[in-house]
Amino acid sequence: MSGIELKNVTKRYKENKFEITALENVSVQVKAGEFVAIVGPSGSGKSTFLSIAGALLKPTEGSIMINNQNITDFDEKQLSSVRLNQIGFILQTANLIPYLTVLDQLLIVKKMQGTVTKEDKAFALELLKDLGLENKEKKYPNECSGGERQRVAIARSFMNDPDIILADEPTSSLDTDRGHEVVQQMAEQVKTRNKAAIMVTHDERMLSYCDRVYRIVDGKLSEEVRTQEV
């Protein structure tokens, strides 16, 4: 299966003499072309879930599969390669580098992998155009609006042509209109480029763009039954 799957994932932390369960027996599968939301309040386990899905944290129990490959027991060097080559991250704030132009924000991803080719630059320009940023390529972050900066972050997450897109509260710093714009464009890119995407959020306004919605409470995940609109 092309995509990501967490199987019976549990994450426990030891704090003094106590053991805290951040995730409990969580299972979810997201295939290529699917856009899934994980919704829950602060402290519910969303950040732990995203860290494990993003190969930043290892589970106490269970397994993580990316494109049918079990990465659970990978060493740090292998996990670093997975993060660089197979996963695109979109964070709460755009996290752009102040002294790089919009185009260079994307190209730096390729520089991390090695050299930047003409094809890489052409792909970067294509992504910017798809996200309505074709006139912003030479601008710096402080010359862009909040929504534009977040769209640059979306484009950057697709730059290494990853299999998985993980978004952490991507609308938290945006007003309603900009939030809808950003998530709609993210959803369109996921479909067009056939990526498996997970958005962790507490923003109920954005769930209509997702194929499936899961609720997480006290580390336990359950799929929300959604009624079909007529």
Q: In this structure, what token pair is assigned to residue 11?
A: 């994450």
pLDDT digits 0-9 by tens, 72-105: 999 999 999 999 899 999 987 778 999 999 999 9
pLDDT digits 0-9 by tens, 129-175: 988 898 999 999 999 998 899 999 999 999 988 999 999 988 887 88
Q: Which residues contact 157 (CB under 8 A, 6 or more apart)?
A: 88, 89, 90, 165, 167
Looking at mean pLDDT, say which of 13-22, 35-44, 221-230 comes out highest. Answer: 35-44
Taking alpha carbons only, the member of 93, 212, 106 closest to residue 156 is: 106
pLDDT band per the 50, 70, 90 thresholds, residue 195 = very high
pLDDT band per the 50, 70, 90 thresholds, residue 1 = low
pLDDT for position 19: 87
Q: Which residue has the tokens 């050299």?
A: 115
pLDDT for position 205: 83
Burial class (CB in 10 A: 0-12, 13-18, 19+), 201: buried
Q: Which amino acid is at 194?
A: N
Residue 3 has pLDDT above 90, yes or no: yes
pLDDT digits 0-9 by tens, 20-68: 899 999 999 999 999 999 998 888 889 899 999 999 999 999 999 999 8
In CATH terms, the fold of domain 3-223 is Rossmann fold (3.40.50)
Q: What is the pTM of this model?
A: 0.90
Reduced to 3 states (helix: H, G, I; strand: E, B; else coil), residue 142 is helix
pLDDT band per the 50, 70, 90 thresholds, residue 230 = very low
